[in-house]
């Protein structure tokens, strides 16, 4: 039985190598183009039990293509096909890790539509590897950095913070991004829970300092609500709250700065831009 498996294994490896060399020769001799692969449902029906081999061969094609790109090539010219191919490859064989990292590297930063395509691909990764913190981290980072959606990023990090091997920073990132998105009360509740969950006095002290800042921001939100009740409009800027509704706007040093996205007051890290 083992001899039979070995005899089948070596031809597959040989085929894999031949495909790689053929693809490399093709891109050296001809124009640098990438063809869209068929839908995963079609590939699954036609490849039988060879899903892994088929997905790896298709991944080799995209890797050779990326390796042959000329310097300065606009990524928008190939990103649609690349996004399609990585989606089909990962749907065909979800346990194949490399396409997830390539998607994050080559697609996420191109344009918002490809950031969303990357996060869709990463959802397949999360289903295949539900305890891995890597893929929700990528998704949360993409939502915050490339899509400017802090609340959605906060929810991803909150979910990821519940994973068995999640680093403590996930919960803290969820709190910070919730505050940036204007969910100050939710951030306070989460941070209070985090205070109770740690025995590190240094971390507790930092959390208490942040709680105090969040509560000051809540006072600004209350002043905004009072302003609206009085004037039947929201202030054009938070400075309009002074001095009728606040003696002065709170200052948070280098830790946070107030944000105003009517009707919500938020807090964001100055360096998270």
pLDDT digits (tens, 9 = 90+) for 219-252: 999 999 999 999 999 999 999 999 999 999 999 9
Instruction: Summarize pLDDT for 84-137 with one digit per residue, the tens.
Output: 999 999 999 999 999 999 999 999 999 999 999 999 999 999 999 999 999 999
pLDDT attached to residue 6: 44
Q: What residues contact 120, with CB distance under 8 A and at least 6 apart? A: 87
Q: Using the structure block, give the residue that is written with the tokens 């202030």.
A: 235
* For the ranges 36-40, 107-111, 164-168, the one whose mean pLDDT is highest: 107-111
Q: Does the CA dihedral 52-58-64-69 come out positive or negative?
A: negative
In DSSP terms, 259 is beta-bridged to 266
Question: How confident is the model over 8-23, as pLDDT tens digits?
Answer: 444 555 554 555 555 4
Q: How confident is the model at residue 272 (pLDDT cuts 50, 70, 90)?
A: low
Q: What ranges do the domains of the chain cover?
A: 1-130
Neighbours of 242 (CB within 10 A): 13
pTM recorded for the entire structure: 0.81
Dihedral-angle region of residue 31 (phi above 0 means left; psi in -120 to 50 means alpha; beta otherwise): beta
Burial class (CB in 10 A: 0-12, 13-18, 19+), 273: exposed
């Amino acid at each position: 039985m083992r001899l039979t498996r070995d005899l089948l294994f070596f031809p597959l490896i040989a085929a894999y190598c031949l495909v790689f060399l053929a693809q490399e020769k093709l891109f050296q001799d001809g124009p640098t183009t990438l063809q869209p692969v068929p839908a995963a449902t079609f590939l699954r029906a036609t490849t039988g039990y060879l899903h892994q081999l088929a997905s790896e061969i298709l991944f080799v094609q995209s890797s050779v293509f990326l390796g042959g790109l000329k310097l300065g090539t606009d990524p928008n010219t190939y990103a649609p096909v690349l996004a399609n191919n990585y989606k089909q490859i990962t749907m065909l064989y979800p346990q194949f890790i490399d396409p997830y990292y390539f998607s994050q590297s080559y697609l996420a930063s191109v344009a918002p539509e490809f950031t969303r395509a990357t996060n869709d691909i990463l959802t397949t990764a999360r289903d295949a590897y539900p305890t891995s913190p890597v893929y929700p981290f990528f998704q949360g980072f993409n939502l915050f950095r490339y899509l400017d959606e802090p609340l959605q990023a906060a929810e991803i990090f909150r979910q990821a913070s519940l994973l068995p091997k999640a680093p403590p920073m996930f919960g803290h990132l969820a709190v910070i991004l919730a505050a940036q998105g204007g969910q100050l009360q939710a951030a306070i509740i989460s941070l209070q829970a985090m205070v109770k969950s740690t025995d590190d006095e240094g971390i507790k002290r930092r959390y208490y300092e942040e709680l105090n800042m969040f509560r000051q921001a809540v006072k600004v939100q209350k002043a905004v609500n009072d302003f609206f009740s009085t004037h039947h409009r929201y202030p054009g800027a938070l400075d309009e709250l002074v001095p009728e509704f606040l003696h002065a706007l709170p200052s948070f040093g280098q830790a946070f700065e107030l944000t105003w996205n009517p009707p919500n007051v938020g807090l964001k890290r100055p360096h998270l831009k």
